[in-house]
């Protein structure tokens, strides 16, 4: 019997193949067999490294989640600057991600939303929310940071689901309303008028 060829990159190639399969065929097209064919590995290799499809999806989602995080790491230095407009920087970075890699963003959200039906994915989906929340919370309080992450999710999903263009000016305006509160003279839900609240910390 021939010795098994040492292939330290095989697990990563399987993950990469799974991401390509989901990108081309959606979650419904993912199986150990389709991934093995895409990765050009024996079927047994996929089940050796990933016992279930959920295990494979967890690895794929964790890797896909790096899309927005990579943009933030490469271009988000201004987020830490107390003098920078946080809403403007977040709007800019969101646009850089959506416009720079729309297929990657679509794939990331397809895997992200798969957690609705696959509980095993929920902790990984929550990791992305928590990482971005922690980043934003350096400039504001955690409640506002969580609301900001939810708003970014909503804006991105609207763009991706409608196939529309990303409107950075609109994103900046709505993010500022969450981060800074109502502008001076604008009515709040309690009937009072708002005033800017820049620079809050929590």
Residue ranges per structural domain of the chain? 10-57, 65-180
pLDDT of 129 > 50? The answer is yes
Fold (topology level) of 65-180:
Tetracycline Repressor; domain 2 (1.10.357)
- Cα 150–Cα 73–Cα 105 angle in degrees, nearest 5: 50
Condensed to tens digits (0 to 9), the pLDDT of residues 136-149 reads 888 899 999 999 99
pLDDT at position 202 is 38
Condensed to tens digits (0 to 9), the pLDDT of residues 22-79 reads 999 999 999 999 999 999 999 999 999 999 999 999 999 888 877 777 777 777 677 7
Instruction: Assign 152 a pLDDT band (cuts: 50, 70, 90).
Output: very high
| Homologous superfamily of the 10-57 domain (CATH) | Homeodomain-like (1.10.10.60)
Residues 6+ apart with CB under 8 A from 83: none
pLDDT of 191 > 70? The answer is no
Instruction: Assign 5 a pLDDT band (cuts: 50, 70, 90).
Output: low
Query: For 1-5, 85-89, 157-161, which range has the lowest pLDDT when averaged over its residues?
Result: 1-5
pLDDT of 3 > 50? The answer is no
pLDDT of 169 > 60? The answer is yes
pLDDT of 197 > 70? The answer is no
Average pLDDT over residues 110-125: 89
Give the separation between CA 125 and CA 133, rounded to whole angstroms.
Answer: 13
pLDDT at position 186 is 53
């Amino acid at each position: 019997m021939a010795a098994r060829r040492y292939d330290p990159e095989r697990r990563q190639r399987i993950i990469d193949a799974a991401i390509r399969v989901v990108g081309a065929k959606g979650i419904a097209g993912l199986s150990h067999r389709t991934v093995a064919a895409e990765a050009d590995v024996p079927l047994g290799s996929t089940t050796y490294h990933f016992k279930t499809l959920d295990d494979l999806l967890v690895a794929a989602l964790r890797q896909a989640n790096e899309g927005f995080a990579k943009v933030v790491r490469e271009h988000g230095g201004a987020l830490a600057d107390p003098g920078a407009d946080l809403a403007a920087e977040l709007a800019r970075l969101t646009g850089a991600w959506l416009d720079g890699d729309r297929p990657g963003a679509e794939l990331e959200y397809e895997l992200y939303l798969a957690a609705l039906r696959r509980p095993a994915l929920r902790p990984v989906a929550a990791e992305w929310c928590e990482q971005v929340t922690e980043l934003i919370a350096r400039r504001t309080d955690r409640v506002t940071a969580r609301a900001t992450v939810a708003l970014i999710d909503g804006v991105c999903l609207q763009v991706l689901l409608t196939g529309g263009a990303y409107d950075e000016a609109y994103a900046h305006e709505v993010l500022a309303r969450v981060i800074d509160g109502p502008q001076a003279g604008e009515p709040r839900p309690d009937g009072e008028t708002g005033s800017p609240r820049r620079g809050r910390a929590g």
